[in-house]
Amino acid sequence: MATSPGPRTLRISRRAILAFALALVLAPGAGPLLAAEPKPSVTLVVDYGDGASIHFNDLKWTAGMTAFDALVAARAHRHGITFAQKGTGRSTLVTKIGDLANEGSGKNWLYSVNAKPGEESAAVHEIKAGDVVLWRFQLYDYNP
């Protein structure tokens, strides 16, 4: 009567276990073993006012970033936008995004942050990580 051999003992050195763990962490394309902290970012939406819009959902946020800086970051994106402006600092005015230019008494480019209309130049309106900046081509609706 044949009997099967007993359980085999596999001996693995600590050095081999550490080398294997290190290889997992350093392997190309391998994700981290622990979840990485999310990088601070903002979302920018450009709404052309005719049913078309473009979204930039993960623009890098930096301390002191303004609503205008988010527009600049979207321009630098590989699928970026174009825009024109007049003035600098507190007198910065976005006059055109893409091929739509401000109309003066008609539709113009207006911004909001987290659905709250901007009340100062976008170049001085600081935003926080996680904020949503919307630029919309629309009529100005003044409600005191």
Whole-number pLDDT of residue 144: 47
Domains of the chain: 41-139 (2.170.130.30)
Check: CB of residue 71 under 8 Å from CB of residue 94: yes
116-136 pLDDT, tens digit per residue, is: 999 999 999 999 999 999 999
52-101 pLDDT, tens digit per residue, is: 999 999 999 999 999 999 999 999 999 999 999 999 999 999 999 999 99
The single-letter code of the amino acid at 135 is: W
**Cα 43 vs. chain centroid, distance in angstroms?**
5
Q: What is the pTM of this model?
A: 0.72
Whole-number pLDDT of residue 142: 63
